[in-house]
Amino acid sequence: MSRKSAPRFTRGMLILSQLAKAFTSRGGDIEALLIRNGIPVAALTDPAMLVDASACYSAMEDMAETLDDPYFGAKVAMETARKGTPAFRDSATHALNLGDFLSRVVVEVSKQVDNVRYSLSITPGNVNFDIHRTVRVTKPSKQLDAIGVTLFVTLIKKGIGETFNPKEILITVPTTHGLLPGFLPKQALITSQIDGLRISFPPHWLWAPFSLDWDSVKASRGEFDTDGTSEATLSYLRGMLRGNIAYQDLTLNDFASICRVHPRRIQRTLWVKGTSYSHMKDDVRKSIAEDLLSNTTLSIAQIALQVGLSGPAAFDRAFRRWTGRTPTQFRAESKGVQI
């Protein structure tokens, strides 16, 4: 079957992974949700796996309905935009102004997903940033539309600061039902049966200095001393790793990019402290896994996703290596249950 007749995500599952993490943290059973929407659980951690786009959109709606929170997607998108997302980190890091950022996003996103096409058009009186879906959605897309609007408006607002004026922005979107009340003035929103969304604003915004100043960037500037070997530095690295450990295959280079330092600097810091990146990652995973096994009722599959492993089998192997016990044995012992 050709991709034209049945469009698929490639790395588009990155978006669903963020939502899955938030859904799980609120007590949702992500494994059951994926199964009932026809999505393999492994898709969350395998960026090469092709998954039907409509199934992903359906899963987003299912999450909101299961949690009885119509604004679930918008809340996750806003938090992601504020804290930082690996999907746009390169664009945000190297952009000098809004035009530079959006231009880089157009190129960057095309390398990650094949279910959307981004474009930027400029006229003397108007700028249009378009997100066009290449697959027609036949089911409700409240969460999908709310995520797109909230994510990009929050990024733009945060990035250009005082230049942002809600009276000068216009959003065209299929539905506004998933947007948080008061997020934008009503006159800034137009509903239209388009396959995606359009963000329009005046050209002078393009030249506004752009800086997202994500938490990871701010923290890294303050936590690394001159030689990078203090306990504060090590504590900072562990904290950053804990916050990003759910990303499977988080390489040293990826982690260094998140921390905004050179990989060799991290290696030197950890070497002085008698450890390595792989050992620290195992230690952080073990600590989080033990806490979740002892203090929550999350399934083994859900905990595996929380610590960045592909599934129960991989988690079982890793946990045996860390502790000499299976996750089930550890959970039973921590609760005083005989097995």
Enumerate the domain spans of the chain: 8-69, 82-207, 215-334
For residue 168, which of 194, 203, 124 has the smallest C-alpha distance? 203
Residue 13 or residue 331, greater confidence: 331
Q: Is the pLDDT score of 38 beyond 90? A: no
Q: Is the pLDDT score of 257 beyond 80? A: no
CA 154 – CA 77 distance, rounded (Å):
9
Q: Is the pLDDT score of 12 beyond 60? A: no
What is the share, in percent, of the chain residues with pLDDT greater than 70? 84
What is the share, in percent, of the chain residues with pLDDT greater than 90? 40
Q: Is the pLDDT score of 219 beyond 70? A: no
45 falls in which pLDDT band (50, 70, 90)? low
The string of DSSP codes covering 215-227 is HHHHHHHHH--SS
CA angle 57, 62, 68 (to 5 degrees): 135
Residue 179 or residue 230, greater confidence: 179
Report the pLDDT value the prediction gives residue 2, as an integer from 0 to 100: 38
Residue 257 three-state SS: helix
Per-residue pLDDT reduced to its tens digit, 227-238? 545 677 888 888
| Cβ neighbours of residue 136 closer than 8 Å, sequence gap 6 or more | 195
CA 326 – CA 79 distance, rounded (Å):
34
243 falls in which pLDDT band (50, 70, 90)? confident
Report the pLDDT value the prediction gives residue 224, as an integer from 0 to 100: 52
Identity (one letter) of the amino acid at 254? D
Question: Strand 170-173 and strand 189-191: pairing?
Answer: parallel
Q: Is the pLDDT score of 122 beyond 80? A: yes
* Other CB atoms within 10 Å distance of the CB of residue 226: 6
**Is the entire prediction scored with pTM above 0.75?**
no
Cβ neighbourhood burial of 246 (10 Å; 0-12, 13-18, 19+) = buried
CA angle 279, 283, 284 (to 5 degrees): 120
Q: Report the range of poorest mean pLDDT among 52-61, 110-119, 170-179, 329-338.
A: 110-119
Per-residue pLDDT reduced to its tens digit, 146-165? 999 999 999 999 999 999 99
Q: Is the pLDDT score of 123 beyond 60? A: yes
Over residues 322-329, mean pLDDT:
93
Q: Is the pLDDT score of 104 beyond 90? A: no
For the domain made up of 215-334, the CATH class stated in words is mainly alpha
CA 131 – CA 129 distance, rounded (Å):
7
The length of the chain, given as a count of residues: 339
Strands of the sheet with 189-191, listed across from one edge: 116-123, 126-133, 196-201, 170-173, 189-191
Q: What is the dihedral of CA 48, 15, 262, 97, to 10 degrees?
A: 120
CA 33 – CA 31 distance, rounded (Å):
5
DSSP state of 123: E
Report the pLDDT value the prediction gives residue 48, as an integer from 0 to 100: 61
Q: Is the pLDDT score of 339 beyond 70? A: no
Q: How many helices (H) and strands (E) does the chain have?
A: 15, 7
For residue 82, which of 69, 92, 68 has the smallest C-alpha distance? 92
Q: What is the dihedral of CA 296, 300, 306, 310, to 10 degrees?
A: 180
152-171 exposure pattern, b = at least 16 Cβ within 10 A, e = fewer: bbbbbbbbbeebbeeeebbb
